Amino acid sequence: MKHEFVCTVCPNSCELKAGEHDGVLSVTGNKCKRGIEFAMLEVYDPQRILTTTVKLTTGGLLPVRSQGTVKKRELWTIIRQLKSIAVELPVEIGDVVANVTAGTPVCIVAADTAHSASEPISGSAPDVKKNLK
């Protein structure tokens, strides 16, 4: 099976092609070794930063993200767990708002600051589906 993707390790954005033959992954298009490591991870164990929203106890939504990457196949498991929580105000950007488990523990942090129910949260809700591509 052939895979084509862009290496996101550095701004060079090399267009990588990866193919497996006899159990060995060959990678082309990379300008450095880090591209090979990226391709191996992307083919065998893809990971993403999860961005989504959680409910606030006062109503409304708080943008959140995972602290670090999580396995792509675990994203929906985490999102389902986050549907059952509601975060109390005030919240500062970077505060841990939940610890969930999806194979491994995942720390979810606030991606914005919210002090009161009447204070608008800046930014827009992240596109969850974009994470899953």
Contact 100, 78 (CB under 8 A): yes
Nearer to ligand SF4, 44 or 88 (CB): 44
Beta strands in 1-133 (DSSP E): 2-6, 15-21, 24-28, 47-48, 51-56, 61-66, 70-71, 86-87, 96-102, 104-110
Q: Does 4 bind ligand SF4 (CB under 6 A)?
A: no
Query: Which listed residue (4, 20, 28, 31) binds ligand SF4 by CB under 6 A?
Result: 31
Question: Which among 110, 115, 126, 55 has a CA at the least distance from the CA of 85?
Answer: 55
Q: What is the sign, positive or negative, of the torsion defined by CA atoms of 70, 73, 76, 82?
A: negative
Nearer to ligand SF4, 14 or 111 (CB): 14
Instruction: State the nearest-atom distance from the C-beta of 17 to ligand SF4, in Å.
Output: 12
Nearer to ligand SF4, 11 or 120 (CB): 11
Q: Does 10 bind ligand SF4 (CB under 6 A)?
A: yes
Q: Does 9 bind ligand SF4 (CB under 6 A)?
A: yes
Using the contact rule CB under 6 A, the part of the chain among 28-36, 51-59, 69-77, 86-94 near ligand SF4 is 28-36
3-state secondary structure of 130: helix
Residues in touch with ligand SF4 (CB under 6 A): 7, 9-10, 12-14, 30-32, 34-35, 38
